[in-house]
Amino acid sequence: MVLGTSSGAGKSLMTAALCRVLRRRGERPLPFKGQNMSNNAWVDQAGGEMAYSQALQAWAAGLEPQCAMNPVLLKPQGDSTSELIHLGRSVGLARAEHYYRDWFRPGWAAIRAGLGELQATHPGGRLVLEGAGSPVEVNLQSRDLTNLRLAQYLRARCVLVADIERGGVFAQIVGTLGLLRPVERPLIKGLLINRFRGRRELFDEGRRWLEAHTGVPVLGVMPWLDELFPPEDSLDLLERRGRKGGAELNIAVLQLPSLSNFSDLDPLEAEPTVQLQWVRPGQALGQPDAVVVPGSKQTLRDLAALRSSGLAGQLLAYAAGGGHVFGICGGLQMLGDQLHDPEGLEGHDTPGVAGANPGVRGLGLLPLRTVFGANKALRQVQSEAQWPCPAALEGFELHHGLSHLTSHLSSELGLLPLAQGEGLGWVRRDAAAPGTIAGTYLHGIFDNGPWRRHWLNQLRERQGLPPLGTLQPHHSRQRDALLDRLADAFEAHVDLGPLLR
């Protein structure tokens, strides 16, 4: 089990590295995180919803992701409320103050069921568990679902990861170990220092002190890796401030308050000639080469935030001036004319949002009417793009709400479907303006290499830049190579002996 001294210590990536290393050694690693809190989700082949980080760990292990790897998923939607997913299916809403009272026992049952399903599907595998946050939140220890309760239940050997980049690494480790109960302390078999800059020998004295003071061996010191790994949560996006020396296109991404599925942007961020600029409500949009409106867990609230901050007005002015705008899922819904929430799924305390109302006005950039309903679209999709080029597409749908065209004047509007298959997306190209307004329900659309490059080449042509090659593999190839480089560093700097003996 990989535990961390705090959120953001690097547990998710260290678990992925461990899975890839064990796979190289001929084992069958089975990634598992009992409970995760994230709006960055994946849909498995059976149509079950799970955290993207466990999907990444499954790919590292050479397995197809399945929601049993993350049996409890909390998807925050503001006001201390989260949608609760058990074994891939939504089971209701949970308020923070009542979560453990109402959902502790059902959550533990889901975790045990997930373990059973995973082990039955992959007999003979070795579970590689990821903890959540800190394992020693003293006000929560008695109700902890996914850290040391699970470690004790499975008799897991634990490694404690600490992020030295954030400072205070000695206090992180000693404080965490000091707050463990006597029955828990023997579970910790090793320490791992993460994100160390400089020569490792400079930490030798610190390593000796930790081992002498705690009695726990330091398994390794992972260096700072100058790689663009998938962010573990949306907070990691705030740390991505670097500029690319070879960037030729600037693409703005609206950092919505309830941003979801931000992994959709990973393939663009991995493009050497593309600089992503995350723009929060209240910041200036400027004149980027394109604007992406990403997914949202609370579409109507985020739309209200865009309006109240003035960012919606900037986006409309940008589009009227011939800008390129692309919406994904909730972003697509915002680009439409009308959004209706008759069942109050989007929250009951946002003015003009919830309840039986005549609808909320969208941005009016696409002739769409969206109605939110209780049923959620959850499926993997394979299709054929019709814009900007014929190309194979694969991805997944994960959304409340169905969108339909409100206008039959598609030829006059320059409106066409983005892909084969009803309701996957639309494109509007106005002959009177050089810009394009488009959107899709397909998460992972930028993963498709030829499609992504054709989309970028439209932007490049407008800037007088030469086209990029379009014979690009699926982004999963690039992601797999990245996981290999992560595992190479892990094997070079970490001794797994105390964990595997």
What does the pLDDT read at residue 166? 87
Question: How far apart (Å, rounded) are the C-alpha atoms in residues 241 and 255?
Answer: 14
- For residue 158, indicate whether it is catalytic: no
Helix, strand or coil for residue 52? Answer: helix
The average confidence (pLDDT) of the chain is: 92
- Percent of the chain with pLDDT strictly greater than 90: 83
Is-same-fold flag (2-229; 241-475)? yes
Per-residue tokens: 158: 């634990």
Residues 333-361 pLDDT 10s: 999 999 999 988 775 444 444 444 558 99
Question: How far apart (Å, rounded) are the C-alpha atoms in residues 77 and 349?
Answer: 12
DSSP code, position 469: P
Domain 241-475 adopts which CATH fold?
Rossmann fold (3.40.50)
DSSP code, position 443: B
Question: How far apart (Å, rounded) are the C-alpha atoms in residues 435 and 398?
Answer: 28
Residue of 340, 443, 454, 475 marked active site: 443
Domain 2-229 has CATH 3.40.50.300: yes
Question: How far apart (Å, rounded) are the C-alpha atoms in residues 73 and 203?
Answer: 37
Question: How far apart (Å, rounded) are the C-alpha atoms in residues 393 and 420?
Answer: 10
Residues 273-287 pLDDT 10s: 999 999 999 999 999
Per-residue tokens: 124: 């003979």
**Separation in Å, CA 174 to CA 84, 157, 273, 374:** 34, 18, 44, 47
Residues 99-154 pLDDT 10s: 999 999 999 999 999 999 999 999 999 999 999 999 999 988 888 899 999 999 99
- For residue 443, indicate whether it is catalytic: yes
Look at the block and give the residue holding tokens 């590292």.
60
Packed helices 475-493 and 52-60: angle between N→C axes, nearest 10 degrees: 70
Cis peptide before 388 (omega within 30 of 0): yes
Residue extents of the structural domains in the chain: 2-229, 241-475
**Separation in Å, CA 282 to CA 285, 289, 378:** 9, 20, 33
Nearest to 478, CA basis, from 326, 272, 275: 272
Residue of 19, 67, 158, 329 marked active site: 329
What does the pLDDT read at residue 349? 45
